[in-house]
């Protein structure tokens, strides 16, 4: 494509998050803007196809407002930043999430492919528009999917120019992609994406980008791959993943007592499936699929590297999918916190089914009030750095003496929590229900004054009476 000003830009700078609606979707609000670069070769014009490489499934569109710099900007003040912008136009910050892993942090191949930055079709004179009075809309196959305005941006356009120019000289023709609002999602070959920016009566016109299927990538490099986390990120609120746990199984597990499950597991030669030493903080009761986090003993020389910033503890929270239980291996050490109220709240917002830790919980009263099922070995005021280094996620762990693998089922009630192998869940539910039915019968007989000899557990002498009782219960 020929650049709108006649020459290619020296750089295209894209902002990660800038619209409050998108920040709400992502579950985080940045304190300062952050950026990534797209190569000038990614530019395309209106009606040019965005080509999805064969093997990719997650081609994302992001309608954006593009700023075109008009004069050299170096260390400019925020109040002067807008004066360095010459043109405003519509853009689509396209990318394939299937390749994000390959250049984590830079987005080079996922966002920088040829044709992944359509611009146009018309330029609006920045001197004739109010930067806080622009409207951005995106349509997919004629349906409006994004509609937002620039009056509530986290980082106004002048601030973006000033911030970048502190360290990076902006040259005439450079392009700044200013972020996308809520509603960005995935498109497929055959779809049509349209983006328009308006300022009152002024309009860029619709930037039309049909989506086409491309050929396969050559095998001498990273190949596309998609996992549940990338699918969730790509689809945003439009993505409704399949439940991690069959709702029928989940309801079945909720219907039986953990004590009964433990007994049935033991009868199958699995006596070590209870997570010992944990009790509910607040209301008990959880059923979900295990996602794991492992802590290692504190080593001061390693804590700065592994324990700060976006460490494994925080990553584990952000990796949670609806229906998962975060299970923590804290080596049964309850003398430091492994979860506090803020991260518990974030787990709740992520749709977690609960948290189980064989360590301690901080802010236990606040955690109990959240309504998120949390099982812990106790409460402690100290932060995790007193005893633990958050090390890794998604690995087999030991929690309360039980081996927990990612994908195991976790069931909890007021007695505690137990690990259920997924392949045994269905038969366990049936056998637990039968055991509990027998125990209801036995309870009635004991209340009536019968001895437990030969009755508990149910012996042959009571079998006929039990079967007749069952017939009455089902009538």
Distance CA 239, CA 440 (A): 44
- For 224, residues 6+ apart whose C-beta sits below 8 A from its C-beta are 53, 55, 56, 57, 96, 98, 99, 217
Helix (H, G, I), strand (E, B) or coil at 256: coil
On whether 343 is known to bind a ligand per the annotation, the reply is yes
In order of 385, 432, 458, 475, the CA distances from 438 in angstroms are 49, 10, 7, 17
Instruction: Give the DSSP H or E segment for 305.
Output: helix 300-306
| 363 marked ligand binding residue | yes
Q: Is 358 annotated as a binding residue?
A: no
**Is the distance from CB of 98 to CB of 226 less than 8 angstroms?**
yes
Q: Where are the beta strands (DSSP E) in 312-468?
A: 324-329, 354-357, 360-361, 374-376, 378-379, 388-393, 397-399, 402-404, 409-413, 416-420
Beta bridge pairs of residue 341 = none
| Residue 340 assigned ligand-binding role | yes
Residues 25 and 248: their CA atoms lie apart, in Å, by 29
Q: 314 near 343, Cβ under 8 Å? A: yes
Question: Which of 179, 154, 230 has its CA nearest to residue 35?
Answer: 179
Instruction: Give residue 6's region: left, alpha or beta (phi > 0; psi -120 to 50).
Output: left
Is 359 assigned a ligand-binding role in the annotation?
no
At which residue do the structure tokens 């000038």 appear?
40
Query: CA gyration radius for the chain?
Result: 29
- Residue 362 annotated as lining a ligand binding site: yes
Q: Which residues contact 304 (CB under 8 A, 6 or more apart)?
A: none
Q: Which two tokens stand for residue 129?
A: 């528009």
In the annotated binding site, the residues are 340-343, 362-363
In the annotated binding site for Mg(2+), the residues are 363
In the annotated binding site for substrate, the residues are 340-343, 362
């Amino acid at each position: 494509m020929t650049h709108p000003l006649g020459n290619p830009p020296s750089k295209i700078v894209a902002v990660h998050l800038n619209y409050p609606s998108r920040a709400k979707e992502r579950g985080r609000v940045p304190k300062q803007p952050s950026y990534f670069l797209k190569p000038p070769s990614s530019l395309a014009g209106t009606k040019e196809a965005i080509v999805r490489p064969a093997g990719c499934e997650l081609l994302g569109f992001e309608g954006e407002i593009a700023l075109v710099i008009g004069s050299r900007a170096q260390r400019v003040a925020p109040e002067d930043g807008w004066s360095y912008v010459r043109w405003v136009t519509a853009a689509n910050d396209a990318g394939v999430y299937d390749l994000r892993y390959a250049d984590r942090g830079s987005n080079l191949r996922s966002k920088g492919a040829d044709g992944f930055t359509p611009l146009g079709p018309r330029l609006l004179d920045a001197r004739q528009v109010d930067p806080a009075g622009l409207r951005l809309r995106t349509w997919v196959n004629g349906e409006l999917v994004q509609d937002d305005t620039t009056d509530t941006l986290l980082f106004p356009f002048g601030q973006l120019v000033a911030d970048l120019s502190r360290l990076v000289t902006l040259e005439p023709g450079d392009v700044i992609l200013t972020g996308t609002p809520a509603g960005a999602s995935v498109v497929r070959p055959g779809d049509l994406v349209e983006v328009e920016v308006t300022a009152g009566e002024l309009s860029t016109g619709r930037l039309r980008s049909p989506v086409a299927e491309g050929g396969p990538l050559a095998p001498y490099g990273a190949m596309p791959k998609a996992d549940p986390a990338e699918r969730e990120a790509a689809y945003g609120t439009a993505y409704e993943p399949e439940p991690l746990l069959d709702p029928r199984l989940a309801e079945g597990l909720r219907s039986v007592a953990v004590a009964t499950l433990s007994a049935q597991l033991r009868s199958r030669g699995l006596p070590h499936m209870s997570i010992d030493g944990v009790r509910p903080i607040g209301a008990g009761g959880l059923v979900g699929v295990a996602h794991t986090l492992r802590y290692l003993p504190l080593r001061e020389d390693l804590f700065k590297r592994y324990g700060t910033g976006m460490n494994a503890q925080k990553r584990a929270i952000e990796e949670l999918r609806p229906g998962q239980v975060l299970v923590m291996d804290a080596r049964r050490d309850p003398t430091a916190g492994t979860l506090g109220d803020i991260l518990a709240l974030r787990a709740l917002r992520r749709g977690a089914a609960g948290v189980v830790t064989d360590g301690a919980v901080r802010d236990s009263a606040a955690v109990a009030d959240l309504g998120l099922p949390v099982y812990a070995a106790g409460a402690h005021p100290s932060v995790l750095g007193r005893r633990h280094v958050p090390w890794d996620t998604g690995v087999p762990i030991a929690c309360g003496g039980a081996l927990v693998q990612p994908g195991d089922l976790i069931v909890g009630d007021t007695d505690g929590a137990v690990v259920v192998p997924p392949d045994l869940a269905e038969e366990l539910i049936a056998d637990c229900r039968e055991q509990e039915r027998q125990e209801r019968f036995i309870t009635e007989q004991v209340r009536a004054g019968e001895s437990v000899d030969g009755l508990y557990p149910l012996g042959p002498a009571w079998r006929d009476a039990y079967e007749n009782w069952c017939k009455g219960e089902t009538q």
